[in-house]
Amino acid sequence: MTAPVFLVEDVRTGTVILDGPEGRHAVSVRRLRVGEEVVLTDGRGAGGYGTVAAVEGKDRLDVLVTELREEPEPTPRITVVQALPKGDRGELAVETMTETGVDAIVPWAAARCITQWKGERGAKSLAKWRSTAREAGKQSRRLRFPEVAEAATTKQVARLLAEADFAVVLHEEGAEPLATAQLPVSGDIVLVVGPEGGVSPEELAAFAEAGARPCRLGRSVLRTSTAGTAASALLLGRTGRWS
């Protein structure tokens, strides 16, 4: 089994103290003991590899870091624009996309979204998505966690698509399969996943004007909370990032 990953502010060699929520998880939940291997990361690509040197109480341990590694910036970079699902399906989408290897997630308030992020509720929902990405990043042993952006409007999504090297909207009526679309070997790929009610004609027109093409995944129609993960896995495999 690979070593567990914990989040720290500064990754360096030598003795690093792990306390607070991360230390509590390491000591009281994972029950780590002296001599066990651990990885420390800042979530931005830096990793410190070492072993537990000492355990104190229920929420602190000392880690002796002996090796530093840097996870390079991925290429091509994959961003998923995720329409807001109902209930906790948003966290499910973020969790599985993070575990799959997505680099950035943009919450999108699509016209046909039942859920809308407004005021305090929106702030809490965004915080949940970011916390989910952080925990899923650790669980999947990533050193570079995905960025979860502020919720975007359709106009903001269109600008993001216009700047991409490859922009696509998942759509069941898309003439082109994503499995055969020509992909760039570098740069930015932006993938739009619509809500359960579908992307509206006005949104499709705005995205097409920005240079995005409608593509289908397959014969089956996936839920919004799983479509992004399936499409991302396909892109990661086809671009060689899973090689």
pLDDT tens digits along 80-134 = 999 999 888 999 999 999 999 999 999 999 999 988 888 888 899 999 999 999 9
**Do 77-239 and 5-70 fall under one CATH topology?**
no
* Cis previous bond, 76, omega within 30: yes
Q: Are 160 and 125 in contact (CB under 8 A)?
A: no
CA distances from 243 to 48, 237, 238, 239, 240 (A): 24, 7, 9, 9, 5
Average pLDDT, stretch 158-181? 93
Q: Are 7 and 63 in contact (CB under 8 A)?
A: no
CATH class of the domain defined by 77-239: alpha beta
Average pLDDT, stretch 149-170? 97
Quick check: 68 pLDDT over 80? yes
The torsion angles phi and psi of 140, rounded to 5 degrees, stand at -90, 10
Model confidence, pTM: 0.94
Sorting pLDDT into bands at 50, 70 and 90, what band is 55? Answer: very high
Average pLDDT, stretch 71-75? 94
Residue ranges of domains in the chain: 5-70, 77-239
In a 13 Å sphere around the CA of 5, the CA atoms on its Cβ side amount to 21
Quick check: 242 pLDDT over 90? yes
CATH architecture type of domain 5-70? Beta Barrel (2.40)
